């Protein structure tokens, strides 16, 4: 598939999707989001891919939705056409783990896109923010909800109400980013995570992802029930048999 605004390459068991619109700091215009959705679905369907890495440039993961494209939009067309609709939420429909490898600016829709991924690995120059308030709008792709759940009300409120950016170190401390690594190590570290996942039991990985993501959607009791069903369903899988046999036999498991 030929794309104009993203690049896709396979590195070992990982599909690396790179946002590539440098002149606009990877601003997320309609075309880019359409291409991203297609690339994500293709990687999800590819049996050779165990995990997906979504990244940008050293200067910007993405500086948000394309302001120049949004400038002329008016209600009620915005509501009737919901431009932040299916194409923005494609990443939420992907069943394989999606790692956001974030360097530089992750602002507005860029921060929201990163938060829709399963984990955020941050380069030490990453800057997260929801600066929509400076444009006379508010976050529209889940920022007010996901950021608040990730870092708590007070920190999220300060960022959303003032547009203040958060450094990579602060993002790690607050629980937004899993880890901070030197910018030069960002992709290699993301590839290491993908490699580790690729060596595990695929059904267990898929169910682990489903269970953790359910924590954002379900009340505790329902979430625990879902986890229990998934957990019990793994017994008898090749992965469970191999994993437990390997432990008992004091050897490394080999998952297919
Ligand atoms: C998802 C929803 C519902 C909403 C949103 O996401 S709203 C957008 C939120 N994001 C922002 O408000 C960030 C906007 N960008 C900036 O504030 C700055 O560009 C910066 C702080 C990220 C970087 O500043 P810097 O001085 O280093 O670079 P610039 O000269 O400002 O930008 C370079 C180049 O990129 C264009 N650009 C940057 N961000 C966007 C954007 N979000 N949409 C469209 N274009 C963007 C910028 O205009 C410039 O290009 P030109 O020189 O051709 O104008």
Mean pLDDT of 61-74: 97
If asked whether residues 26 and 113 sit together in one domain, one would say yes
Indicate if ligand 1 lies below 6 Å from the C-beta of 99: no
Indicate if ligand 1 lies below 6 Å from the C-beta of 84: yes
- Going by pLDDT thresholds of 50, 70 and 90, the confidence category of residue 86 is confident
Indicate if ligand 1 lies below 6 Å from the C-beta of 143: no
If asked whether residues 65 and 175 sit together in one domain, one would say yes
| Atom 14 of ligand 1, residue of closest alpha carbon | 63
Report pLDDT digits (tens) over 133-164. Answer: 999 999 999 999 999 999 999 999 999 999 99
Contacts 24+ apart (CB under 8 A), 146-151: 146/112, 146/115, 146/116, 146/216, 147/111, 147/115, 147/176, 149/216, 150/115, 150/174, 150/175, 150/176, 151/175, 151/176
Report pLDDT digits (tens) over 100-132. Answer: 999 999 999 999 999 999 999 999 999 999 999
Number of domains in the chain: 2
If asked whether residues 217 and 105 sit together in one domain, one would say no
| Atom 3 of ligand 1, residue of closest alpha carbon | 140
Residue 215 belongs to a domain with what CATH number? Answer: 1.10.12.10
**Cα(107) to centroid(ligand 1), Å:** 9
Report pLDDT digits (tens) over 194-205. Answer: 999 999 999 999
Mean pLDDT of 187-211: 98
List Cβ neighbours of 234 (8 Å cut-off, separation of 6 or more). Answer: 201, 203, 204, 207, 240
Percent of the chain scoring above 70 in pLDDT: 100
Indicate if ligand 1 lies below 6 Å from the C-beta of 24: yes
Percent of the chain scoring above 90 in pLDDT: 97
Q: Ligand 1: which of 24, 29, 141 to mutate, most ligand atoms within 8 Å of CB?
A: 24
The reported pLDDT for the residue numbered 256 is: 86
Given 109, 110, 129, 142, which residue is catalytic? Answer: 109
pLDDT surpassing 90 at residue 1: no
With a threshold of 0.90, tell me whether the complex ipTM lies above it. Answer: yes
Mean pLDDT of 35-50: 98
The reported pLDDT for the residue numbered 202 is: 96
Residue 35 belongs to a domain with what CATH number? Answer: 3.90.226.10
- Going by pLDDT thresholds of 50, 70 and 90, the confidence category of residue 167 is very high
If asked whether residues 34 and 149 sit together in one domain, one would say yes
Q: Ligand 1: which of 33, 64, 159 to mutate, most ligand atoms within 8 Å of CB?
A: 64
If asked whether residues 180 and 209 sit together in one domain, one would say no
Residues forming beta bridges with residue 14, ordered by sequence position? 11, 51
Domain span holding position 222: 201-249
Mean pLDDT of 175-188: 98
């Amino acid at each position: 598939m030929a794309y104009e605004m993203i690049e896709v390459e396979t590195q070992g068991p990982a599909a690396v999707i790179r946002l590539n619109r440098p002149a606009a700091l990877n601003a997320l215009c309609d075309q880019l989001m359409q291409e991203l959705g297609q690339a994500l679905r293709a990687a999800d369907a590819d049996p050779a891919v165990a995990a997906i890495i979504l990244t940008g440039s050293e200067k910007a993961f993405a500086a948000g939705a394309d302001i120049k494209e949004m400038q002329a939009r008016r209600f009620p067309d915005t509501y009737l056409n919901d431009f932040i609709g299916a194409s923005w939420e494609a990443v939420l429909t992907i069943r394989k783990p999606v790692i956001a490898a974030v360097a530089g600016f992750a602002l507005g829709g860029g921060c929201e896109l990163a938060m829709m991924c399963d984990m955020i690995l941050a380069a030490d120059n990453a800057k997260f923010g929801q600066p929509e308030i400076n444009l006379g709008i508010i976050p529209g792709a889940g920022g007010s909800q996901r950021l608040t759940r990730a870092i708590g009300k007070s920190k999220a409120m300060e960022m959303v109400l003032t547009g203040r950016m958060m450094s990579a170190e602060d993002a790690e401390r607050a629980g937004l980013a899993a880890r901070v690594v030197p910018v030069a190590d960002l992709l290699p570290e993301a590839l290491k995570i993908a490699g580790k996942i690729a060596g595990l039991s695929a059904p267990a990985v898929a169910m682990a992802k489903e269970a953790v993501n359910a924590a954002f959607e379900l009340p505790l009791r329902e979430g625990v029930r879902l986890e229990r069903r998934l957990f019990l369903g793994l017994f008898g899988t090749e992965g469970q048999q191999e994993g437990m046999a390997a432990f008992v036999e004091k050897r490394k498991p080999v998952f297919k």
